[in-house]
Amino acid sequence: MKTFDNAMVSSHLNHVRIVMVNTTLPANIGSALRAMKTMGLSKLVLVAPKTYPHPDIDALAAGATDLIEQIEIVETLEQAIADCHLVFGTSARSRTIPWPLLDVRPASEKALQAVVQQQQEVAIIFGREDRGLTNEELALANYHVTIPVNTEYGVLNVAQAIQIICYELRMATLAYEQQDDNDAQSMPVNNQIDMHWDEPLVTQEQMQQFYPHLEKMLEEIEFLDLNNPRLLPLRLRRLFGRIQLDRMEYNLLRGIFTRVQALSQGKWKKSTDKEDQPHV
Amino acid sequence: MKTFDNAMVSSHLNHVRIVMVNTTLPANIGSALRAMKTMGLSKLVLVAPKTYPHPDIDALAAGATDLIEQIEIVETLEQAIADCHLVFGTSARSRTIPWPLLDVRPASEKALQAVVQQQQEVAIIFGREDRGLTNEELALANYHVTIPVNTEYGVLNVAQAIQIICYELRMATLAYEQQDDNDAQSMPVNNQIDMHWDEPLVTQEQMQQFYPHLEKMLEEIEFLDLNNPRLLPLRLRRLFGRIQLDRMEYNLLRGIFTRVQALSQGKWKKSTDKEDQPHV
């Protein structure tokens, strides 16, 4: 059996929040808290829960009182993930538009890596009991994550799905710490490239200003008709969602959008001197 | 996402039975059946259940009627495992006598290996809700298996433990089958990002046309001075290099560059009709 330090596990998993959207049954919230606490997670965010508070939550989360007190209630999914860098949306079925999709195990490893190597805040989003997340909600995620179950039978309920993801997050954390212990051997972590950023990554909140700016610019050059956008906005979210922009890249791209807008509006014209090149 | 053959998974997992000893709550039996069916297991043996049958079993195992019909009821644990070759006893705490102890993941891999390589029959035994398995019952097992949870908080209930073990058994089966598929190449199967793209990813060769086009466009809007580019070209390569564009995204972005160039060169002006929006 592995020996491990529960405090160390929690210090990592405190940066991974579980987000439940429009949950109907209080029992599922209670079960989620219990699963989280058992595996060492602590932060639950509820987006517009149907019933809250409710005695079933306390009953099923018996012994997880500290987690109940830390629950955050928000009105929109955007608020729930505003300060997050990396967002996973859970999805049982294939959707109309494809998205980077990870099984729960590699997704958990990726989440843990983001926390320990880059101090990122991570969110895992779970949808309604009856119909999961909408396509619009799923488009807010960098990655979609799925649990490979027997598709002929059906899907896990939300509490079961949370339990398995929390379990995999714990396993990824334990594996990371074991690897850390074996540092002398300098083993590669999951064969993934360790990216060292010179700039901090932007948050989801900043990205929610990025997309409207990009769309406005594209509308001005008539590349996008906001009254009939087709799949273009979704494609752009998928594209930039999987990059995780850093601050300098973000400023660079928004600078380009602004320049194109000025050009389109006739407010900016080519100069002969190049004094105004931005310093990047 | 991995593709897999549910029938093939079940043909292996039919040889792994779940054994529940002296279960008190029918709801736990129902939940166990649901967890088993979701993950592709089919054989449940109940040793002297306190309450059986009961409507809660059918309610919680909704859709798993075939598994209910296959339930075997026996009087003693010895009967339940009589024809098994390999037996795992689940144990939350360390017991008075030491025993070979495995975490749930390696235990599941071992179980699967026994089934596929040596046609063994395997049993995983779960104890009573309140006090688990007795030392005498645990002594009937070849190995003890444990789920590495937050020991400061407590343990999983029996239905949750069954769910996680069934999940790990399924994962072990899928990994085995993938390995089997890739036998010639003998590639490791984990940690790969599986993306469902509707479009093929572009090649590096195409990207070598992409960057000059992007730079030319940025030069035309005086965002980049090719005589003194500083770090900008490098930043753009790092940014788009980690996206891995698919063909449609690639064409979309190059279309935008071309539009901005035409705008900059005065070759394109805003129209009033929106007929020319590209079809994306």
Residue A2 has pLDDT above 60, yes or no: no
Residue B10 has pLDDT above 80, yes or no: yes
pLDDT on residue A188:
38
C-alpha B125/C-alpha B87 separation (Å) is 8
- Which of A4, A164, A239 faces B249 most closely, judged by CB atoms? A239
B:147-166 residues touching chain A, CB 8 A cutoff = 147-156, 160, 163-164
C-alpha A38/C-alpha B91 separation (Å) is 16
Q: What is the mean pLDDT of the segment spanning B217-221?
A: 95
pLDDT on residue A62:
86
In this structure, are residues B191 and A109 in contact, taking their beta carbons and an 8 Å threshold?
yes
If you average pLDDT over each of A237-251, B71-85, B149-163, which comes out highest? Answer: B71-85
Report residue A41 as tokens.
């997670």
Q: Is A137 exposed, middle or buried (0-12, 13-18, 19+ CB in 10 A)?
A: buried
pLDDT on residue B185:
44
B69-100 pLDDT, tens digit each? 999 999 999 999 998 889 999 987 655 556 78
In this structure, are residues B98 and B140 in contact, taking their beta carbons and an 8 Å threshold?
no
Q: What is the mean pLDDT of the segment spanning B182-208?
A: 57
pLDDT on residue B163:
96
Neighbouring residues of A58: CB distance < 8 A, sequence distance ≥ 6: A30, A65, A68
C-alpha A278/C-alpha A274 separation (Å) is 10
Taking alpha carbons only, the member of B251, B258, B213 closest to residue A221 is B258
pLDDT on residue B100:
81
CB–CB contact A39 B4 (8 Å): no
pLDDT on residue B156:
87
Lowest mean pLDDT among B1-5, B175-179, B255-259: B1-5
| C-alpha distances out from residue A18 to A76, A169, B31, Å | 14, 11, 23
Residue A261 has pLDDT above 70, yes or no: yes
Q: Is B276 on the interface with A (CB under 8 A)?
A: yes
Residue A249 has pLDDT above 60, yes or no: yes
Residue B216 has pLDDT above 90, yes or no: yes
Residue B12 has pLDDT above 80, yes or no: yes
pLDDT on residue A7:
87
In this structure, are residues B245 and B202 in contact, taking their beta carbons and an 8 Å threshold?
yes
pLDDT on residue A96:
56
Tell me what percent of the residues of chain B surpass a pLDDT of 90: 55
Q: What is the mean pLDDT of the segment spanning B170-184?
A: 80
Taking alpha carbons only, the member of B216, B241, B214, B224 closest to residue A280 is B224
Q: What are phi and psi of B210, to 5 degrees?
A: -65, -50
Domains and CATH numbers, chain A: 6-185 (3.40.1280.10), 204-264 (1.10.8.590)
CB–CB contact B101 A1 (8 Å): yes
pLDDT on residue A197:
54
B:189-228 residues touching chain A, CB 8 A cutoff = 190-198, 218, 220-225, 228
The chain-wide mean pLDDT, for chain A, equals 86
pLDDT on residue B98:
67
CA-based nearest distance B197→chain A, Å: 6
Q: Is B167 exposed, middle or buried (0-12, 13-18, 19+ CB in 10 A)?
A: buried
A:73-132 residues touching chain B, CB 8 A cutoff = 94, 97-103, 105-106, 109
pLDDT on residue B20:
98
Q: What is the mean pLDDT of the segment spanning B208-235?
A: 90
Report residue B80 as tokens.
């339940």
The vertex-A22 CA angle with A60 and B40, nearest 5°, equals 65
Nearest CA in chain A to B3: A148
DSSP A243-261: T--BHHHHHHHHHHHHHHH
C-alpha B245/C-alpha B253 separation (Å) is 10
Lowest mean pLDDT among A178-187, B125-134, B150-159: A178-187
Q: Is A167 on the interface with B (CB under 8 A)?
A: yes
